[in-house]
């Protein structure tokens, strides 16, 4: 049962080798997609080529479906998978600034690595800039500490915010993705260069879209969340203490102290 | 130079499987921006070790005697560099150049790359992750903040794309 590392299948030294392997595949596919080229990357912001959105959304959906199906079949313990905590205000501001940095510099952090190794000087300069930005952040961190920890909502998922089970969320994400693919391809046809845009048969696309929606729909029906909810049911005593009955909430993992503490930067 | 890139949907499926593999084996997703923060920390530590230890943010990367560079994400980034190099090599895409649009000079492009890098490095620390570590990884787990973050990246970029159009078009 996964995650293998958390169940002690291998040690730290091996995990670093695995990181190298996973990174190799990561860098390889990014370069395959043309993400070492900033003109290809930024074309999305001028409505000419939505490869960035297609790759990102597809990867998110494949992984999301994979995680939920693995969980449903009992192959992975999602409780042991590191979930990124939500600090809503720094994430909003950070996202906006990262977006500006993306269109200004032409890269996001990982793609700049791929660009640098394919010989682009601007990619290397971007990396140097990122290091300077990190140092700048650390140096003024005492002033930012309050903002950095503001808007703490704990480790919450979309399911907690909308109070919908994750199967239905997954189904909605699949529907949204298919809608987004259809829409951006319309936009590409209007503004993009038809010679460089990827060609694909409409039949394959329709089949893939259908499969995606079907996989989402199955999840919505089987509802993987009930696996977590099950043990809680016998504990409810209906005759008394009604007001004390509460469902297990994922938000219970509030930070242990107000002071600044970073467990391990498992995120990014 | 070969400009034929792979189909983005196919790449997306493969990337999703790589991410799933990472979750299944390690219990965590991909990422890269923290590795640059770690390299920067290692540099500061080399020049001014006391200063690095005293700083509340740098010090999170300095634990015990271990170098800040011995970290999962650093190895991931080294792997990504090798993987990108391999792919560029087999497609004959390795070429020393400054990538830019036709109507911008090399020096302005490099200054903008530096500025964009500084903003990105700063923002990634503020948001606790970048496009891969926060948006991609978190969104696949349906983390609320990661979805908000992802839409904010697009919002920030689309809102300012007009001012940088000469750099790319």
pLDDT digits (tens, 9 = 90+) for A115-161: 999 999 999 999 999 999 999 999 999 999 999 999 999 999 999 99
* Beta-carbon separation of A153 and B72 below 8 A: no
pTM: 0.89
Rounded to the nearest integer, the mean pLDDT of chain A is 85
The residue of A101, A132, A140, A165 whose CB has the most chain B CBs within 10 angstroms, and thus the best one to mutate to test that interface, is: A101
The residue of B9, B66, B73, B120 whose CB has the most chain A CBs within 10 angstroms, and thus the best one to mutate to test that interface, is: B120
Q: How far apart are alpha carbons A78 and B19 in whole angstroms?
A: 14
From the number of C-beta atoms within 10 Å of its C-beta (0-12, 13-18, 19+), residue A250 rates as middle
Q: How far apart are alpha carbons A181 and A188 in whole angstroms?
A: 10
> How far is A47 from chain B, CA to nearest CA, in Å?
10
* Beta-carbon separation of B132 and A112 below 8 A: no
Q: Which tens digit of pLDDT belongs to each residue from B3-53?
A: 688 999 999 999 999 999 999 999 999 988 999 999 999 999 999 989 988
Confidence of residue A258 (pLDDT cuts 50, 70, 90): very low
* Beta-carbon separation of A109 and B139 below 8 A: no
Q: Which tens digit of pLDDT belongs to each residue from B72-107?
A: 999 999 999 999 999 999 999 999 999 999 999 999
Q: How many CB pairs under 8 A join A and B?
A: 555
* Beta-carbon separation of A3 and B130 below 8 A: no
Are B40 and A129 contacting, i.e. CB atoms less than 8 angstroms apart?
Answer: no
* Residue B47 vs residues A124, A125, B41, B117: alpha-carbon distances, Å: 22, 21, 10, 22
A-chain residues near B131 (CB < 8 A): 56, 98, 102, 108-110
Residue A265 pLDDT > 80, yes or no? no
* Beta-carbon separation of A97 and B119 below 8 A: yes
**ipTM of the complex model:** 0.96
Residue B62 pLDDT > 50, yes or no? yes
Nearest to A109 among B13, B33, B98 (CB): B33
What is the model's pLDDT at position A120?
96
B-chain residues near A93 (CB < 8 A): 123, 126-127, 152
What is the model's pLDDT at position A226?
81
Confidence of residue A253 (pLDDT cuts 50, 70, 90): very low
Nearest to B156 among A30, A99, A119 (CB): A99
Among chain B residues, the shortest Cα distance to A1 is held by B24
Q: Which tens digit of pLDDT belongs to each residue from A15-34?
A: 999 999 999 999 999 999 99
Cβ neighbours, 10 Å, residue B169: 15
* Beta-carbon separation of A135 and B25 below 8 A: no
Q: Which tens digit of pLDDT belongs to each residue from A186-220?
A: 999 888 887 777 777 889 999 999 999 999 999 99
* Beta-carbon separation of B127 and A155 below 8 A: no
A-chain residues near B24 (CB < 8 A): 2-4, 70, 75-76
C-alpha angle with apex B109: B104 to B115, nearest 5 degrees?
A: 140
């Amino acid at each position: 049962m996964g995650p293998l590392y958390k169940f002690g299948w291998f040690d730290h030294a091996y995990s670093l080798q695995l990181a190298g392997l996973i990174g190799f595949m990561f860098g390889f596919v990014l370069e395959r997609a043309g993400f070492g080229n900033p003109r290809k990357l930024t074309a999305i912001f001028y409505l000419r080529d939505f490869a960035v959105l297609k790759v990102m959304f597809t990867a998110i959906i494949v992984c999301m479906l994979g995680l939920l199906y693995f969980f449903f079949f009992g192959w992975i313990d999602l409780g042991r998978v590191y979930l990124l905590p939500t600090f809503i205000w720094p994430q909003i501001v950070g996202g906006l600034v990262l977006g500006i940095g993306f269109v200004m510099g032409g890269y996001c952090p990982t793609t700049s690595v791929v660009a640098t190794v394919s010989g682009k000087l601007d990619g290397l300069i971007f990396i140097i800039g990122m290091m300077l930005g990190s140092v700048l952040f650390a140096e003024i961190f005492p002033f930012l500490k309050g903002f950095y920890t503001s808007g703490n909502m704990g480790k919450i998922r979309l399911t907690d915010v909308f109070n919908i089970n994750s199967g239905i969320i997954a189904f909605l994400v699949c529907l949204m993705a298919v809608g987004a693919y259809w829409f951006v391809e319309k936009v590409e046809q209007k503004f993009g260069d038809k010679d460089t845009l990827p060609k694909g048969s409409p039949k394959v696309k329709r089949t893939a879209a259908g499969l995606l929606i079907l996989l989402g729909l199955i999840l919505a029906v089987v509802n993987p969340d009930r696996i977590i909810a099950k043990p809680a049911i016998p504990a409810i005593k209906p005759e008394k203490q009604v007001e004390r009955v509460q469902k297990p909430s994922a938000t219970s993992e509030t930070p242990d102290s107000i002071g600044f503490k970073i467990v391990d930067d498992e995120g990014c | 130079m070969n400009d034929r890139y792979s189909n983005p949907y196919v790449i997306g499926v493969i990337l999703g499987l790589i991410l799933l593999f990472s979750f299944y084996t390690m219990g965590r997703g991909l990422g890269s921006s923290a590795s640059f923060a770690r390299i920067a920390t290692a540099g500061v530590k080399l020049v001014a070790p006391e200063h690095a230890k005293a700083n509340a943010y740098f010090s999170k990367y300095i634990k015990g005697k271990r170098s800040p560079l011995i970290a999962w994400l650093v190895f991931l980034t080294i792997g990504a560099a090798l993987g990108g190099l391999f792919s560029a090599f087999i497609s004959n895409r390795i070429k020393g150049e400054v990538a830019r649009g036709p109507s911008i000079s090399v020096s302005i492009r490099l200054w903008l790359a530096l500025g964009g890098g500084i903003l990105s490095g700063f923002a990634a620390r503020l948001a606790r992750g970048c496009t891969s570590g926060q948006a991609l990884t978190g969104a696949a787990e349906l983390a609320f903040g990661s979805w908000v973050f992802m839409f904010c990246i697009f919002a920030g970029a689309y809102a300012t794309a007009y001012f940088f159009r000469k750099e790319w078009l």
